[in-house]
Amino acid sequence: MQISVIGCGRWGSFLAWYLNGIGHQITLYGRESSRKFTELRKTGTNGLVTLDEKMNLTSDLGAALKSQILVISIGAQSFRSLMEQLSSRDLAGKTVVLCMKGLEAGTGKRLTQIFEEYRPDTPVAVWVGPGHVQDFTRGIPNCMVIDSRSMQVKKELVNAFSSDLIRFYYGDDLIGNEIGAASKNVIGIAAGMLDGLNKTALKGALMSRGTREIARLIRKMGGNEITAYGLAHLGDYEATVFSPYSHNRRFGEAFVRGEDYGELAEGVATTKAMLTLGRQYQAELPISDAVNRVINQGEEPNRVLSDLFLRSIKMEF
């Protein structure tokens, strides 16, 4: 099939490489001004994947929009501005797949909600779940999830995207899968903080309480709480809570050690979105709240995290 990947960052470039490798015709789109686009155009590689000659690398959005399937993988906070660009385009007959893990910081909105504000006419799906580019390119397989309101869209995409490297499961809870996929980055920051404070052993308790927190929120939002325990959230903890590659974990670790990390991890914006959702749905989110207090309010991390796990004796559930 003709597939365009919108976004040529680490993950977008990988998606293009992967989909090309399983036989699709790929257009990879990046902004002319982006450093990563320039690097790819100049060298044909980003150090993780090397673009195949067959692939079409372009900064012409119109050219990218000709494919049947559009896979979008950009920073979640830039998604609305992309949708503004897509709002007036002809997308007839196309399917859009969002392969991103985030929420709009200011509003707490899920990305398919933003998509449907602009393009209620176009079928949209999400592609979430575990996996690091560094593992996939070494041939280490993983399981991921495709979710959409439409069973037909899910089937079409699972058939088109499956391989020995990535085995897809059908999701059945768009709210749960989007919230779960985004919020695992917040849990990842908390995990990094525990690592940085020499409290790695508490990552067990973090997993138990983190999944509960997200399950409760998903239920209050009208999703299925069990989705928090699926591939998109708990299933992504190996890659987030434990992996040396996880940006969010490393960001949390560097933060509590007072080291400069260079850039904000995606989970920082997601933390803001989570607090918005917590207020909106009256859900208690103690871990998201703790991450926010440490990162945005300058509270002392050791005290905040000790309070979170070790203060009061209570019933487990």
Binding site per annotation, positions: 7-12
Three-state DSSP at 72 gives: strand
**Closer residue to a second copy, CB minimum distance, 62 or 141:** 141
Instruction: Identify residue 273 by its one-letter amino acid code.
Output: A
Q: Give the per-residue contact string, 104-133, with a second copy (x = CB under 8 A; - = no).
A: --------------------------xxx-
277 contributes a contact to a second copy by CB under 8 A: no
Name the residue among 96, 169, 159, 105 with its Cα closest to residue 131. Answer: 169
CB atoms within 10 A of CB 83: 18
> Could you say which of 1, 34, 80, 238 contacts a second copy (CB under 8 A)?
238
Supply the minimum distance, in Å, between the C-beta of residue 74 and a second copy.
24
Task: Please pick, among 101, 154, 184, 199, the residue that the annotation labels catalytic.
Answer: 184
Please report how close the Cβ of residue 208 comes to a second copy at its closest, in angstroms.
4
The reply on whether position 260 binds a second copy by CB under 8 A is no
Concatenated DSSP letters of 39-52:
HHHHHSB-SS-B--
Half-sphere exposure of 87 (CA within 13 A, CB side): 11
Q: Which residue has the tokens 């949209």?
A: 124
What does 82-136 look like in DSSP terms, one character per residue?
A: HHHHHTTS--TT-EEEE------TTT---HHHHHHHH-TTS-EEEEE----HHHH
Asked if 49 touches a second copy (CB under 8 A), the answer is no
Decide if 220 is catalytic: no
Between 66 and 167, name the residue whose CB sits nearer to a second copy.
Answer: 167
Q: How far apart are CA 197 and CA 206, in angstroms?
A: 14
Binding mask 204-233 for a second copy (x = CB under 8 A): xxxxx--xx--x--------x-xx-xxx--
58: three-class secondary structure by DSSP: strand
Stretch that binds a second copy, among 20-28, 36-44, 266-274, 306-314 (CB under 8 A): 306-314
When asked if residue 236 is in the footprint of a second copy (CB under 8 A), the reply is yes
Query: b/e map of 68-79 (b: 16 or more CB within 10 Å)?
Result: ebbbbbbebbeb
Site string for a second copy, 149-168 (x = CB under 8 A): ---------x---x-x--xx
Report the C-alpha gap between 228 and 36 in whole angstroms. 33
Which span (51-59, 96-104, 107-115, 200-208) binds a second copy, by CB under 8 A? 200-208
Closest CA to 165 of 40, 69, 49, 28: 49
- Give the residue ranges of the annotated binding site for NAD(+): 7-12
Binding map of a second copy across residues 171-190, x = CB under 8 A, - = no contact: xx------------------
Query: What is the helix (H) or strand (E) element at residue 17, kind and residue range?
Result: helix 10-21
Least distance from C-beta 306 to a second copy, angstroms? 8
Q: Smallest gap, in angstroms, from Cβ of residue 183 to a second copy? A: 15
| CA pair distance 17, 296, nearest whole angstrom | 37
The yes or no reply on residue 244 touching a second copy (CB under 8 A) is: no
Instruction: For a second copy, give the closer residue by CB, 61 or 207.
Output: 207
From 92, 70, 67, 90, select the one nearest 79 (Cα to Cα). Answer: 70
| Residues at the interface with a second copy (CB under 8 A) | 130-132, 135, 140-143, 145, 158, 162, 164, 167-172, 198-208, 211-212, 215, 224, 226-227, 229-231, 234-239, 242, 306, 309-311, 313-317
Q: Which positions are catalytic?
A: 184
